Amino acid sequence: MGTADRPRKVLVVDDSNLVRRYYRAALEGSGFAVEEALNGLEGIEKLLLETFDLVILDVNMPKMDGFTFLADLRARSAPSAAVPVLVISTEAGVQDREAARQAGANYYLVKPVAEDDLVAHAAVLTGRPS
């Protein structure tokens, strides 16, 4: 299997077990490989150990929130610093979208996200052929 044919690896960083399970089911059902982190701190640790094609990130989490995660990630010199990040949050204000963009997010969606939308955004951000 060539690089173009391998499953794209997605790291889901969200403190909600239900949300992580929902994202995992949708993404794995569409051919993505999924890893999970319970908060931003665990997410950074996983990114230091593995290479991912996409991070799906919540904003409001314990230990390290999404904006702190993004700032930490983008400040690194490691190749993982350039990984695309899709922020999905309950925060729906224009200021929230702007804060995510300023912190380094590639795209911002508001929860709840339909399975089809999640998979479509993941495919675009990872450059996966449809």
Return the CATH number at 82. Answer: 3.40.50.2300
Average pLDDT over residues 59-81: 90
Task: Return phi, psi of residue 40, to 5°.
Answer: -65, -35
| Nearest alpha-carbon partner for 33 in 56, 9, 54, 15 | 9
Lookup: tokens for 29? 């059902």
Residue where the block lists tokens 């995510």: 100
**pLDDT value at position 1?**
43
* Tally of domains in the chain: 1
Report the C-alpha gap between 79 and 126 in whole angstroms.
15
What pLDDT sits at residue 6? 81
pLDDT at 59 over 70: yes
Report residue 57's pLDDT band, with 50, 70 and 90 as the boundaries. very high
> DSSP class of residue 80?
G
The parent domain of residue 97 ranges over 3-126
Helix (H, G, I), strand (E, B) or coil at 81: helix
Give the pLDDT of residue 116: 97
Residue 3 has pLDDT above 60, yes or no: no
> Tens digit of pLDDT for each residue in 107-125?
999 999 999 999 999 999 9
Q: What is the pLDDT of residues 5-34, one digit of tens each?
A: 689 999 999 999 999 999 999 999 999 999
